[in-house]
A and B are shown apart, each in its own frame.
Chain A
Amino acid sequence: QQQVKQSPQSLIVQKGGISIINCAYENTAFDYFPWYQQFPGKGPALLIAIRPDVSEKKEGRFTISFNKSAKQFSLHIMDSQPGDSATYFCAASKGTYKYIFGTGTRLKVLA
């Protein structure tokens, strides 16, 4: 019940295309769903986050779609760029931000 399942494990997208990464959770007590972006040799950095009272949040080219009834959320990267190539982690938490992370998706955007 504490797992967050993330897919796909890896993703290759052409420049200008849409990248979509999906996550699913079991624990309905989770109330904070962030996405973290990690470049090689760096630590994860917050990209965008959502709370379950909204179904979508957009920041620039990055959008989180949240489906509370299905217990799923996804990250959409519009107009993907080579600079977006990184590993993306979804996560879920409640309260003290003891995040439960997904296994990560390695995104490569081809120039």
Chain B
Amino acid sequence: EAGVTQFPSHSVIEKGQTVTLRCDPISGHDNLYWYRRVMGKEIKFLLHFVKESKQDESGMPNNRFLAERTGGTYSTLKVQPAELEDSGVYFCASRPGTGNTGELFFGEGSRLTVL
């Protein structure tokens, strides 16, 4: 079974440009999360989808960040326009809807560098 996949693995953009990160969760996982780790700091929650609905987006930094999960499958996280402080590693994680132990399955992350 394929794990959580994220694309791109690394993106380098100029301040003011737009970047879109994509996450493909494990097939059948209703719950999808986005997290971010800025260098040396904690892995911080951004938002949580249940199927295609945003369950909790309290961690989104500001309105330059837009997450979507059309059809309840893959998700995208768009940053527009990017700022220097947006640099970090963006992790996607998923878990099943029911009958699980609470384990989140993480992707390998998308490293974003804003110059």
Chain A residues with CB under 8 Å of chain B are 4, 32, 34, 36, 41-46, 49, 89, 91, 93, 96-104
Contacts and interface: CB of A to CB of B under 8 A. Distances in A.
A45 B106 contact: yes
Nearest to A9: B40
A24 to B, nearest CB: 13
Contact of A93 (B31, B35, B102): B102
Nearest to A41: B108
A43 B48 CA distance: 18
Contacts, number: 58
Given A96-B31, A102-B42, 10 more contacts: A41-B108, A43-B91, A43-B93, A44-B43, A44-B91, A45-B106, A89-B43, A97-B104, A101-B43, A104-B40
23 contacts: A4-B42, A32-B102, A34-B102, A36-B106, A42-B108, A43-B4, A43-B91, A43-B93, A43-B107, A43-B108, A43-B109, A44-B106, A49-B103, A89-B42, A91-B43, A96-B48, A97-B102, A98-B45, A98-B56, A99-B43, A99-B45, A101-B35, A104-B40
B44 interface: yes
A36 B104 CA distance: 10
A104 B59 CA distance: 19
Nearest to B43: A101
Contacts of B56: 96, 98
Contacts of B102: 32, 34, 49, 93, 97
Contacts of B106: 36, 43-45
Contact of B41 (A43, A91, A103): A103
